[in-house]
């Protein structure tokens, strides 16, 4: 699975989107059913890009990585398609492909035939190479782009999300030149109830991870610690802390 994801990412980066889509189709990943799922995957990707471990993320959400991925070792020699090799240089001609006779599958499954045509390993070959993978199991992390090195990993910032559509929360924008100048009566009460300090609000507006422009015209600021919603004049409409970040935000 990881080999196919890597290959898809490489092809996508090269502009070969159709080929990338084919590799993704072979993975038979479950479809995203809602904007919320897409948003959660997106946030997970950002957290991993900023240095959080995928396994730590899974554990925080209450499940572990599938066994095949726990066994994954990025230092094992692989070819450019991510398949294990018997050499260390990853050259294609060192790969040993095991042909699989499964006439029933070959008759009935067009994707199976396509896999053979592209030289991709079939699920049976994956298993023989010690990679039991359940394509319908929980997706451990989102389809990755090139994984940044530790030196490259950085905290997400609003410019990372400009133009991205977050459904009901609307669209990512650059951080506006706007500061907090007032709190609505509603916001004053919520701040007290939710034990937020003025600096919690200020920090969220000054250093947000992302800012979204909402259909109401308000601005949604998200940080690690809080959400602050400002109207166009800089008045705080509402706010809540990360204690209230549930699956909706994550």
Partner 1 sequence: MAKDHAFMDVRSILMRDWDPIMMSGYLPDDEYDQYIPGVIRLLESNCGHEQLANYLLNVEKNWIEMEPQPERAVLAAKNLITAWKAKP
Residues engaged in binding partner 1 (CB under 8 A): 36, 168-169, 184-186, 189-190, 193-194, 214-216, 218, 220, 229, 231, 235, 237-238, 240, 244, 248-249
C-alpha 183/C-alpha 181 separation (Å) is 7
| Identity of the residue, 37 or 85, whose beta carbon is nearer to partner 1 in the bound complex | 37
State the nearest-atom distance from the C-beta of 39 to partner 1, in Å: 10
- Nearest-angstrom CA–CA distance, 99 and 121: 9
> Which residue lies nearer to partner 1 by CB, 28 or 248?
248
Instruction: Report whether 171 contacts 163 (CB < 8 A).
Output: yes
Q: Select from 156, 231, 158, 238 the least CA-distant residue to 196.
A: 238
Task: Tell me how far, at minimum, the Cβ of 185 lies from partner 1, in Å.
Answer: 5
Give least dist CB 209 to partner 1, A: 15
Strand, helix or coil for residue 17: helix
**Closest to partner 1 by CB, 85 or 241:** 241
H or E element, residue 24: helix 17-27
* 9: phi then psi, degrees, rounded to nearest 5: -65, -40
Is 29 or 249 the residue whose CB approaches partner 1 more closely?
249
Nearer to partner 1, 58 or 201 (CB): 201
Q: Which residue has the tokens 């018997």?
A: 86
Can you tell me whether residue 185 is helix, strand or coil?
Answer: helix
| Of residues 147 and 186, the one with the C-beta less far from partner 1 | 186
Which residue's CB is nearer to partner 1, number 5 or number 201? 201
Least CB distance from residue 247 to partner 1, whole Å? 11
DSSP SS3 for 240: strand
Q: How many whole angstroms separate alpha carbon 24 and alpha carbon 17?
A: 10
Q: C-beta of 177: minimal distance to partner 1 in Å?
A: 22
**Tokens in use for 91?**
């050259």
In sequence order, which residues have a C-beta less than 8 Å from that of residue 168 and are 6 or more positions away?
Answer: 35
CB of 187 to partner 1, least distance (A): 8
CB of 244 to partner 1, least distance (A): 4
């Amino acid at each position: 699975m990881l080999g196919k994801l890597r290959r898809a990412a490489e092809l996508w980066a090269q502009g070969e989107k159709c080929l990338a889509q084919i590799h993704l189709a072979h993975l038979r990943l479950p479809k995203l059913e809602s904007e919320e799922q897409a948003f959660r995957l997106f946030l997970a990707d950002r957290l991993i890009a900023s240095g959080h471990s995928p396994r730590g993320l899974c554990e925080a959400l209450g499940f572990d990585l599938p066994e095949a991925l726990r066994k994954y070792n990025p230092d094992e020699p692989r070819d450019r398609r991510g398949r294990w090799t018997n050499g260390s240089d990853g050259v294609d001609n060192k790969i040993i492909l095991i042909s699989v006779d499964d006439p029933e599958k070959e008759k009935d499954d067009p994707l199976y035939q396509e896999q053979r045509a592209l030289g991709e390993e079939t699920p049976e070959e994956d298993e023989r190479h010690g990679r039991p993978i359940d394509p319908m199991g929980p997706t451990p992390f989102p389809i990755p782009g090139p994984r940044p090195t530790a030196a490259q990993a950085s905290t997400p910032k609003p410019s990372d999300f400009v133009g991205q559509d977050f459904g009901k929360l609307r669209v990512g924008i650059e951080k506006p030149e706007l500061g907090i100048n007032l709190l609505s009566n509603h916001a004053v009460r919520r701040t007290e109830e939710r034990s937020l300090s003025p600096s919690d609000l200020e920090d969220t507006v000054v250093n947000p991870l992302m800012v979204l422009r909402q259909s109401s015209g308000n601005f949604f600021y998200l940080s690690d610690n809080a959400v602050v919603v400002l109207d166009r004049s800089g008045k705080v409409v509402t706010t809540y802390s990360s204690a209230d970040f549930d699956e909706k935000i994550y």
